[in-house]
Chains A and B, each alone.
Chain A
Amino acid sequence: MNPIRRRRLILILLGLSAVGIASALVLLALRQNIQHFVSPSDVDAGLAEAGRRIRIGGIVEEGSLRRASDSLDVHFVVTDRFKTLPVHFRGILPDLFREGQSVVATGVLRDRQLFEAEEVLAKHDENYIPAEVADAIARGKAKQAEAQQ
């Protein structure tokens, strides 16, 4: 390679590393701000301020969903399997909302034991399973449970 081209190549590589390092530093500095939501553990650790609008995310704890019979009020518990946070929401939940699935909720943290949600979104996970296969797995699990009893 002739010296001029070599110099251009080195210049490009240096430029790329400089841009790369600069962006890495910016992203590292803004780490908390880029997080789309905080987890119940973060709330428990005091990372989220009470009274401010934030987003929380986690799994809807199995068996925690309670719907009011005369209004759209729902109560459920969001967990990251370490800590839990009770959530209250008034409105229509997305179709994919169910116990054991992840959600992201926007709202106000009243205190460490109550999150007042204004919007609840369902978060989909990376598992793609055909409906028939999922049914078969569920049937198999039910059979196994029966056999154990």
Chain B
Amino acid sequence: MHPLWLWFHKTGSPPMFYRLAGKLMPWFWALAVIIGVIGLYLGLVRAPADYLQGESARIMYIHVPSAWMSMFIFAFMAFCGALALIWHVKISEVLMISAAPIGMGFTVVTLITGSLWGRPTWGTYWEWDARMTSELVLLFLYFGVQGLYSAFDDRRKGARAAAILALIGLVNLPIIHYSVEWWNTLHQGSSIKLLSGKSTIHPSMLWPLLLMAIATKFWFVASLLHRARGDVLEMESGKDWVQQMLPGAAESADGKAP
């Protein structure tokens, strides 16, 4: 077997994953908090106010990274879903389902902060334009993935059904991203253009935004490992390695008092 595959299979085995995730998690939490605090300080205190919107422009330091994460996590879920469907990798099922509530949280934050920004800027909390509607659809897709998974008694069957929905929902991501270019929308176009390099945002405002984007990525990984560890324990509660670590785990997982 190719060494990379060997490594992949070893890391993907639940006991190895549980231990590795436990070791990595504190680092990701620490990086997320440190970079997040710096990013928030630079964005909310040090960055200049916008010439037109004034101080309310600072909402973007939360709104934009959350919006990016809401889409990034959905893509991650679909990727894990594909691995689960094709190779039946247990850990990728766990990662997919653990990512759903985190992505849902970022989507809710995106919608709420956007709405709070829209009131002073546009004059309305909500408009049914293509950008806002497609982001709302994303929230419902997260609900759908989570709900479909919970609807099955057999968690592995549920995970595969949810994976199919995650893959179908992938279609929504380019719609969200390009909605402001394809159609007339109230929402403005992207200020940050990584590919063409011609961003229409001043560098003093761009840096805090990028820091927040990095911090939310670390936050996601830390939170994901945290949730996935709990999920792995529950899934493997009957296995020897869990029994050795936590005697009595099987009884409590079956709903009986330990």
Contact = CB atoms under 8 A, between A and B. Distances in A.
Interface stretch (B48-56, B219-227, B243-251): B48-56
A125 B164 CA distance: 37
Nearest to B206: A128
Contacts of A120: 123
Contact of A124 (B53, B182, B204): B53
B8 interface: no
Contacts, number: 117
A60 B53 CA distance: 17
A34 interface: yes
B23 to A, nearest CB: 31
Interface in A132-146: 132-135
A12 to B, nearest CB: 6
Interface string B54-79: 10010010000000000000000000
Nearest to A23: B171
B200 A8 contact: no
Contacts of B202: 128-130, 133
Contact of A128 (B130, B182, B200): B200
A31 B182 CA distance: 9
A107 interface: no
Interface residues of B, number: 43
A78 B118 CA distance: 21
Main secondary structure of the interface of B (DSSP, over half): loop
7 contacts: A8-B86, A12-B82, A37-B184, A101-B52, A121-B186, A125-B188, A131-B50
Contacts of A124: 52-53, 121-122, 188
B198 to A, nearest CB: 11
Query: Looking at B123, B128, B170, B183, which has the most chain A CB atoms within 10 Å of its CB?
Result: B123
A124 B164 CA distance: 38
Contact of A131 (B48, B86, B127, B164): B48
B49 A131 contact: yes
Contacts of A129: 50-52, 202
Contacts of A8: 85-86
A15 B188 contact: no
B191 A127 contact: yes
A128 B57 contact: yes
A12 B164 CA distance: 9
